[in-house]
């Protein structure tokens, strides 16, 4: 019988940190990849190690163990103080830096005086200086040596403009995401699925608020840009995770319907890589111009393009699907997580007739929550759970789901519908869930799901 292990000590954790840091640093050196530093031209991400499981795991261990060490070194009281004081202030200051476009106003390579910066922004220099002094403690900008009252970029501040659309989505007034998060206590008492009405006196859903409240009427375009930014941060430019995660070539010249395809970035990637496929983006009419301009910008509408041209079809996914499409695949990328189980079932209901008739596969690009605590590093789970709560507070009751919850949702949509495979790339937050009406393969996956799940499903 094995004895319970004592919890890791400070030195155990520091030793593990050293090991993980050495593995990661050696990998970067061996592959002639840049080492991280705090300068504005330093790496902004680790996308260049995604393909290497050893380096990716070492980085995950480094982050996880460092968090554990910090936890022990700070102790509960200091940690709570950080959360309510400095972490909260950090969000407020980042929001102000974003709203005032401070990162764009500071030259990338040359320090700027505080006075010149304040003048260019049209703000008062003294509170600006106080706010930046707080930001410096987070390594967002810094005061260069021997240059008092000058501001210069760091790696973190230099990364802000590239991340702008996602900061807008999560922190701006228009989107109400921040506001919604503060409704938790009341929401938990009153709303099992959707507290959105708490923040909006007119009871509008988030998509309506997004479009109606944007001062320039470009909420949807901004949202689509935020989606692209968040994906790029996870996977880099291009949609390799999507192209490699499914046998698109096996569909021959069939039709792929990208349900809620938004700006069409997934459709463009698939159509370019597999020119024989007919790719149809379905979304609300307000997305048409954005999707079509992306089709045009990608060159797929040019005379010289010999493959199929992608198409846009205005289609509400809560309405029956047009019968003439006869799709081989319904692609739903980051759609169902926006919706409660009941709404997700309504969406699925409209796909099932064609799936039964034409053997259409359902391809979900979604996050898969761990069924058990500890299945993935806690820092990764923190991100996923934050998104899950964002779905609850913002998207009218949406939620991230675990593998067993996905399986149950599909079974509720139709007893014969099941997940056939879940493919995840190392280091990726998103998985590809392939589903269909194939009993035999469905049974295979049910076993796989059962093997990783001990949690009671919520349905």
Both tokens of 192, joined, read 């099992």
- Residue 287 or 453: the one with the smaller Cβ distance to ligand SAM is 287
- Separation between Cα atoms, residue 360 and residue 373, nearest integer Å: 35
Closest C-alpha to 269, from 296, 292, 243: 243
Residue 324 is classified by DSSP as G
Q: Which residue is nearest to ligand SAM (CB)?
A: 262
Cβ atoms of 317 and 282 closer than 8 Å:
yes
> Which residue blocks in 172-218 are alpha helix, DSSP H?
177-181, 184-190, 196-199, 206-213
Report d(CA 330, CA 254) in Å as an integer.
Answer: 11
For ligand SAM, the closer CB: 317 or 437: 317
Closest distance between ligand SAM and the C-beta of residue 201, in Å? 22
Q: Which is nearer to ligand SAM, 17 or 257 (CB)?
A: 257
Parallel, antiparallel or unpaired: strands 278-283 and 255-259: parallel
Is the CB of 298 or the CB of 333 nearer to ligand SAM?
A: 333
Please check whether residue 204 is in contact with residue 212, taking contact to mean a CB–CB distance below 8 angstroms.
Answer: yes
Q: Cβ 349 to ligand SAM, closest distance in Å?
A: 13
Closer Cβ to ligand SAM, 286 or 412, answer by number: 286
Q: Smallest Cα–Cα separation from 377: which of 51, 14, 16, 63?
A: 63
The residue ranges that bind ligand SAM (CB under 6 A) are 207, 227, 260-262, 266, 283-284, 287, 316-318, 333-335, 338
For residue 404, give the 3-state DSSP assignment: helix
- State how far the Cα of 307 lies from the Cα of 405, in Å rounded to an integer: 38
Phi, psi of 18 (to 5 degrees): -60, -45
What's the CA gap between 20 and 10, in Å, rounded? 15
CB of 263 to ligand SAM, least distance (A): 7
Shortest spacing between CB 260 and ligand SAM, in angstroms: 3
Q: Which is nearer to ligand SAM, 160 or 226 (CB)?
A: 226
Identify which of residues 311 and 338 has a Cβ nearer to ligand SAM in the complex.
338
Residue (of 423, 431, 428) closest to 45 by Cα position: 428
Instruction: Give min distance, CB of 317 to ligand SAM, in A.
Output: 4
| Residues pairing with 329 in the sheet | 256, 361
Other beta carbons within 10 Å of 162: 14
Residue 3: how many CB atoms within 10 A of its CB? 5
Nearest approach, Cβ of 287 to ligand SAM (angstroms)?
A: 5
Rounded to the nearest whole angstrom, what is the least distance from the CB of residue 341 to ligand SAM in the complex?
16
Query: SS3 for 346?
Result: helix
State which residue, 260 or 436, has the beta carbon closest to ligand SAM: 260
| Helices and strands in the chain: count of H runs, count of E runs | 20, 10
Helical (H) or strand (E) element with 18: helix 10-30
Closest to ligand SAM by CB, 175 vs 453, is 175
Q: What is the spatial distance between Cα 104 and Cα 92, in angstroms, rounded to a whole number?
A: 18
Cα gap 315→260, rounded to integer Å: 8
- Considering the complex, state which of residue 262 and residue 327 has its C-beta at the smaller distance from ligand SAM: 262
3-state secondary structure of 393: helix
How far apart (Å, rounded) are the C-alpha atoms in residues 275 and 378? 41
- For residues 227 and 277, which CB has a smaller minimum distance to ligand SAM in the complex? 227
For residues 300 and 242, what is the distance between their CA atoms, to the nearest angstrom?
19
Residue 64 or 341 having the CB closest to ligand SAM: 341
């Amino acid at each position: 019988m094995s004895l319970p292990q004592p919890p890791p000590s400070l030195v155990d954790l520091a030793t593990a940190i050293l090991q993980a840091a050495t593995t990661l640093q050696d990998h970067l050196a061996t592959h002639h990849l840049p080492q991280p530093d705090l300068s504005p031209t330093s790496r902004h991400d680790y996308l260049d190690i995604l393909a290497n499981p050893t380096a990716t795991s070492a980085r995950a261990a480094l982050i996880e163990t460092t968090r554990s060490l910090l936890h022990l070194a700070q102790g509960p009281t200091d940690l709570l103080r950080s959360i309510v004081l400095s972490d909260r202030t950090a969000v407020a200051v980042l929001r102000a830096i974003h709203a005032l476009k401070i990162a764009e106003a500071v030259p990338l390579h040359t320090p700027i005086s505080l006075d010149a910066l304040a003048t260019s922004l049209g703000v008062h220099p003294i509170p600006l200086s106080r706010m930046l002094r707080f930001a410096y403690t987070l390594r967002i900008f810094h005061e260069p040596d021997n240059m008092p009252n000058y501001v210069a970029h760091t790696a973190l501040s230099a990364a802000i403009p590239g991340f702008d659309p996602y900061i807008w989505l999560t922190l701006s007034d228009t989107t109400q995401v921040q506001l919604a998060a503060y409704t938790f206590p009341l929401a938990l008492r009153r709303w099992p699925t959707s507290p959105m009405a708490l923040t909006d006196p007119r009871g509008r859903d988030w998509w309506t608020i997004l479009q109606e409240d944007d001062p320039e009427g470009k909420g949807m375009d901004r949202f689509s840009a935020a989606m692209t930014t968040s994906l790029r941060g996870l996977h880099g430019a291009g949609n390799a995770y999507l192209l490699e995660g499914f046998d698109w070539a096996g569909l021959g010249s069939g039709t792929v319907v990208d349900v809620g395809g938004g700006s069409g970035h997934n459709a463009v990637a698939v159509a370019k890589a597999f020119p024989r496929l007919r790719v149809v983006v379905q979304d609300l009419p307000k997305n048409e111009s954005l999707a079509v301009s992306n089709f045009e910008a990608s060159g797929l509408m040019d005379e010289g393009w010999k493959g199929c041209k992608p198409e846009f079809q205005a289609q509400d996914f809560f309405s029956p699907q047009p019968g003439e499409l006869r799709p081989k695949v319904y692609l739903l990328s980051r759609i169902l997580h926006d919706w409660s189980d009941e709404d997700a079932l309504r969406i699925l209901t409209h796909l099932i007739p064609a799936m039964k008739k034409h053997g259409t596969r359902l391809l979900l690009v979604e996050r898969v929550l761990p069924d058990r605590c500890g299945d993935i590093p806690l820092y990764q789970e923190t991100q996923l759970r934050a998104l899950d709560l964002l779905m609850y507070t913002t998207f009218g009751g949406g939620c991230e789901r675990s593998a067993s919850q996905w399986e149950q949702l599909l079974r509720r949509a139709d007893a014969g519908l099941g997940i056939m495979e879940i493919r995840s790339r190392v280091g990726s937050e998103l998985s590809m869930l392939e589903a269909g009406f194939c009993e035999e393969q469905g049974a295979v996956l049910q076993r796989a799901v059962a093997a990783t799940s001990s949690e009671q499903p919520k349905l």
